[in-house]
Structure formats: C-alpha cells, structure tokens
Structure 1
Amino acid sequence: MEEVKVVGFWASPYVYRVIWALKLKGVKFEYIEEDIFDKSDLLLQLNPVHKKVPVFIHGGKPIAESMVILEYIDEMWPQNPLLLPDDPNERATSRFWTKFGDDERKHFFGFLRKTGEEQEKAIKDAQNSLKILEENALGEKKFFGGNNIGMTDLAFGWLALCLEVMGEAAGVKLLEHNSFPRLMAWIENFKNVAVIKENRPDQHRLLGYLKGLREMYLSLPTS
C-alpha cells in the first residue's frame, strides 16, 4: 500500500475534513503538523499555488484543496462509507450544498473580524446563510444525505467543530435551538459520530486561538 500523509494545522477545519474522511474509510496515514504563520519549505513545495493546508500526499504525489482531496479519497478507497452517493441526482445535490457552503464562507467568518455595525451586518449575513441550510438542505434527515454521514456533512463539519467557539470569541451567538432546530439536531448527530468525537481540537485551546485571531484582525488598519 502506497504511503498516505496529511500536512495540516491543528485548528484548521479544512484539515479535519480530510482526517475525518480517512478515519471513516479506515485508511492509515501519517499526520505532519505545519506552522501556517511560518510556512515550511515542504508546504511551499507541495502547494506552491495557494500555499495552504491541507495537503494530501499519496504515493509521493501531493493534492491540495480539501474538497478535491475528499473526492479523491472516495474514489481511491471506494469501501463504505461512500462519501458521495451512487445516485447521480443525490451526488449533484451533495456537490451543490458543498459549493454553497464554500461560496457563503465569507459570511461565517466576517463577524469574527468586525465590530459594531459591520459585525451586526456580518451576523445577519451568516444567519441568512444558516437559514437557507435550515429550510432547504436537511429536512427531517439525520445527516445531509440521509441516515449516514457523507461528503456534505464533512464539508459543513466546521459548523459543529468551531461555530459556537467562534461566536464566544467574538461575543455573539448565531445559533439558537428555537430558530435553527434542524441544524442544531444535525450538529449533535454529527458530533456524536465516534470518528468526529475522537478527532477534534481541544475547545479551550481553540477559543484562545480564535480570540487571538480576532485581536489580530481588529488591530489591522482599515482602508
């Protein structure tokens, strides 16, 4: 079996997407921690275009971008659980919501970087995106694709991983059970999957990291 490696950063939700996928598939891998604030020559060599983690290495060949990596993993190791469904319509739906999440990502991180009226606008933008998910993506399903965890769940895993901690770092609360009952139920279902529960950053450490990021963003000069 060709060697599998993951170059990542402990707080990156995009790195955890890859770790979760490999763990779900039962694929053994070596994890290499990267300092994203002082990028190594290895990272710059493996991902010269974006210079970001995660980077997935299989048989000495690097692959970048977390969702590209997840599709590669699903094709290379087709054993259950399948991350993308067999049905073409369901597969397209999964890709649609995954792209929606990536397109809306800027709204979810905006409130961490802003204060005052700008933060209020960012909170509303984020909640509008969450409302679209609440009303259109989940229905009465346990996971986005049904009863089993799949690609879309891993793509939105950061909601369960760090949205609440991000809110705490910024002094806001985005999710309330009475406003987002389906999303809140999904978060609990997702967090209770053994692979997810066993592979997530320490929440106290993550809170300290996010508070530091917020302080850094707020100290930057505004244009």
Structure 2
Amino acid sequence: MAKKEESVKLLGFWISPFSRRVEMALKLKGVPYEYLEEELPKKTPLLLELNPVHKKVPVLVHNDKVLSESHLILEYIDQTWTNNPFLPQDPYEKAMARFWAKFVDEQILPAGFMPLVKPERGIEVAIQETRELIMFLEKEVTGKDFFGGKTIGFLDMVAGSMIPFCLARAWECMGIDMIPEERFPGLNRWIKKLNEVEIVRECIPPKEKHIERMNKIIEKAKSS
C-alpha cells in the first residue's frame, strides 16, 4: 500500500521573525512545503479560519493538523521529522533551550522594540536595558559555534530570526549598533556563523527592503 503523500503548508509574513524561524526548521529537515504569504496587518479569511484565537502568523498545516505559535510549531516539526534534530535530547538542556527561547520573545523583544515606538523613558535608557538582557545570551553562546553546539539548534532559530535580523535592524534605522562587537564578541561571532548556514541565508529578509518596511511600521505605530 502506497504511503499517503504528506501535505505541509505554512502561512507566514516575509518580515515576521516568527514565521521565518519555522521556515528555517522546515528547510533544515528537508520538508517540502507550500508557503502562503499573508500581507499583514490585513488578515485573509484562511488565516482567520485556521487561527481564530490569535489571528497571527505563523500557522502550520500538516495534513489535517493545524498548529500556531512558533515555539510549538518548531517542537512539532522536530518530533514529526526526526532527521537533523535541533532540540537537545538531554531533558535539562531541552528545558534550558525552551527557557532562553521564551526569554528572547517575552523579554528581549518587548524591551528592544517598544522604545522605538514609545520612547518615553529615553533612548539611552532603552539601549542600556536591552543590552543588559542581550548580555545573558552573550554568556550562553561564548565558546560555542551555536547555542545548539556545533550545529544550528532550536534556540539558534528563535534568537537568530529575532536578534540580528530583526531587532538589530530596527535599531539600525536610528543609526544605532545595538550589538557592538567590542561588547558582544560571542554574539557577533555567532551571527557570522549563522550567515554561513545556507538555510538561514535563505530565510533572512532582504536588508534594505526590511529596514524600509520597519521604518514605516515604527512611524505608523508612533502616530497611532
């Protein structure tokens, strides 16, 4: 009996680090997938149907299964397609990878982006606070090629989609290097290593187009 052909679809948005990290995972696993581009903030009927709770990308559709939230999707991908594993096998190391991934999205992301939109506390204060948070990751990656060790892993996809190719570019709009090499040598070496990985390069938004779009988003948020 022939094996049922798998259907994999990903609803994403080209500027979204959350959908870009899922693309990295699918490419690492060699999973063929159909990519469906959303043009946010507009929401297609398909997106609203598949993710009625959060109404956000990414959404992964695997055969008849629908998943949202990028961390959960990454774990599902790693457990469903077992080649090229990117989550640690050791329970403690796996828990810590999840911990730091949540730290990136729940603490570094808001600390780094909100001052660009609402700089009430002052830009210098925001830079200092964001860098203090990023320093935790500097310590985690020091002496390693990747957070996952010698190969790209779960935390590399989460942090890699967010910090160098999203957060740093947002601050670059203001002429600020948020991750100077003299202060963050480990992270800068890690970023160079990321750029050497083909699947990462394929999922990085074009820089000029990316910065132009983020400028528009920041200006629109400031005026709202």
How high is the TM-score relative to the length of structure 1? 0.93
Structure 1 counterpart of 2:147: 144
How far the C-alpha of 1:117 sits from its partner, in A, is: 4.0
What are the residue-to-residue correspondences of 1:30-179 with 2, within 5 Å? 30-80=34-84, 82-104=85-107, 105-115=109-119, 117-135=121-139, 137-157=140-160, 158-179=162-183
What displacement does 1:111 show?
3.0
- 2:23 aligned residue: 19
Partner secondary structure for residue 156 of structure 1: helix
Of 189, 196, 201, which residue of structure 2 is paired with 1:197? 201
1:202 CA drift (Å): 1.0
- Are 2:86 and 2:148, in contact at CA under 8 Å, matched by a contact in 1? no
Find runs of 4+ consecutive structure 1 residues off by over 6 angstroms: none
Any idea what the Cα deviations from partners look like across 1:59-88, whole Å, max 9, x if unmatched?
Answer: 0321000010000000000111x1111111
* Structure 1 residues 116 and 103, CA gap change in structure 2 (3 angstroms): closer
More deviation in 58-67 or 98-107?
A: 98-107
Aligned residues: 218
Structure 2 unaligned residues grouped into runs of 5+: none
Q: Structure 1: any 5+ residue segments left out of the alignment?
A: none
Give how far 1:103 is off: 2.2
Q: d(CA) in 2 for partners of 1:115 and 1:10? A: 26
> What is the CA–CA distance in structure 1 between the aligned matches of 2:171 and 2:150, rounded to whole Å?
29
Residues 22 and 73 in structure 2, CA contact (< 8 A), matched pair in contact too: yes
For 2:8, the equivalent position in structure 1 comes to 4
Q: Distance in 2 between matches of 1:55 and 1:67?
A: 11
State which drifts further: 84-93 or 48-57: 84-93
State how far apart, in whole Å, the 2-side matches of 1:118 and 1:60 are. 48
Offset, 1:98 = 1.1
What secondary structure sits across from 2:190 in the alignment? helix
SS of the residue corresponding to residue 82 of structure 2 reads: coil
The DSSP-based 3-state class of the residue aligned with 1:27 is: coil
CA–CA distance in 2 between the matches of 1:114 and 1:65?
26
CA contact (8 A) 2:113 2:167 kept: no
